[in-house]
Structure 1
Amino acid sequence: MNSQSQARQIQRVWQQGLARRQFLKWGLGSVATVAAVAAGGFALLRRSPRDAVSRPGWAADLSDDEFHLFDRAREVLLPVAGTALVDSAAIPVVQNIQRTLNYLDPVTRKELGAGLGLLDNIAVFTHGCRFVDLELPEARQMLDRWGEGGVLQRTLATVLKQLVYSAYWQDPQTWQPVEFDGPVSDKWGLSYLGNAPLPGPLEVSAQETTV
């Protein structure tokens, strides 16, 4: 799946998961609360050694915090050491994520950025440090818990995982170890037609009567 197709998928997941606008306002409003608390008594806990490292020049469309979050998520979600799979450090994972995010509409991009900021900072309250500074087992456990949590938590965990996994596997370097020779749609020149709509009630009834 290319970056543009992945962006459509990410936008769909985000909008479906947070369709209730009031809930979205409440959920993303907590980002401001986290930031306010961090600016006070939690400021020292929120500091990270990664803060001293600026994002590279090619990451101009990401904030420093976003760059560090995606780079850490790459390490957390792609533990390929000891396998035949290509090390994620050799793949431009964060660059591919940035490319996908650039296809999002501005409103979704802003909301998603705020949500991911919440995911990074909320760990200060539960672990005493940000997500980017958690040990690998703790970080994986946090994402697993969020994957089974409330709507906002599930949506953020799902989006983060989809961004990282698709950014890794879309690179042709990752295909040979799993004996994948590329998308059929690319080889055959098939255009993207979107998702087929689910059948309506009348269509389902008609299908049932013919079985």
Structure 2
Amino acid sequence: MAALAGAGFAWLRRSSVDGLPVGEGIRHLTAAEYHLFQRATAVLLPVQGTPLTPLSQVPVVQHIDHMIGLLPGHLRKQVGMGLTLFDNAAVVSGWHGRRFVDLKTAVAVQYFDDWSHGNTIQKALATLVKRFVYVAYWRDPATWGPVEFDGPVSEKWGLAYLGNAPLPDQQPVSREAVQ
């Protein structure tokens, strides 16, 4: 029975995007991760018909690929496992019978909503995908004009980058000083 269930899952998790090539310049994402982020970008950023910058003008998945490439190997592996789980869980989670990459837009939006209110792992994975997509879109200067953002004030004001500077030491406040 377990073999039959496993074979059924393997058949259901096949996708028409599996044979599609990845975008040019992708160095760190696997093909499955690339297609997952392509689909998530379209689902999470419905900018068509709005004043926001069209997705065709922002290399969102290429930005994600770059961010993934900055992760240490052990974290990269864990992120990859989480992304695989997020994509494949749609086969049985909600009884969709197909991976996330193959869900219709309304169903994919509901999938994100359900996972955002699900158990701890579901919340974490939905947040992981959302954060990568949103940060990758909004980090691109091409997206700033429609929302009248003229760039980081640190650049505009010529502020020096301090890196991860420690907070100043704080002296304990005496009870007398608060009274």
Instruction: Give the TM bin, normalised by the shorter chain.
Output: 0.7 to 0.9
- Report how far residue 89 of structure 1 moved: 2.4
- Report how far residue 186 of structure 1 moved: 2.9
2:116 equivalent in structure 1: 147
The 1-side partners of 2:42 and 2:120 are apart by 25
Structure with higher RCO (Cα < 8 A, 6+ apart): 1
Tell me, yes or no, if the aligned pair for 1:67 and 1:94 is still in contact at 8 Å.
yes
Secondary structure in structure 2 of the residue aligned to 1:89: helix
1:190 aligns with 2:160: yes
Q: Which has the larger radius of gyration?
A: 2
RMSD: 2.7
1:170 aligns with 2:139: yes
Q: How does 1:94-109 map to 2 (within 5 A)?
A: 94-109=61-76
TM norm structure 2: 0.85
Secondary structure in structure 1 of the residue aligned to 2:71: coil
1:77 aligns with 2:44: yes
Tell me, yes or no, if the aligned pair for 1:61 and 1:98 is still in contact at 8 Å.
yes
Identity %: 45
- Residues 52-94 of structure 1 show CA distances to partners (whole Å, capped at 9, x for unaligned) of 2021341121111000001101001000122100111221000
Equivalenced residue count is 173
TM norm structure 1: 0.73
Instruction: Call closer, same or farther: CA 1:194–1:141 in 2, change over 3 Å.
Output: farther
2:160 maps to a residue whose letter is L
Q: Which of the numbers 41, 47, 51 marks the counterpart of 2:14?
A: 47
Tell me, yes or no, if the aligned pair for 2:29 and 2:68 is still in contact at 8 Å.
no
1:115 aligns with 2:82: yes
In the TM superposition, structure 1's runs of 4+ consecutive aligned residues that sit over 4 Å from their partners are 36-39
Instruction: Call closer, same or farther: CA 1:192–1:38 in 2, change over 3 Å.
Output: farther
1:159 aligns with 2:159: no
The 2-side partners of 1:130 and 1:140 are apart by 14
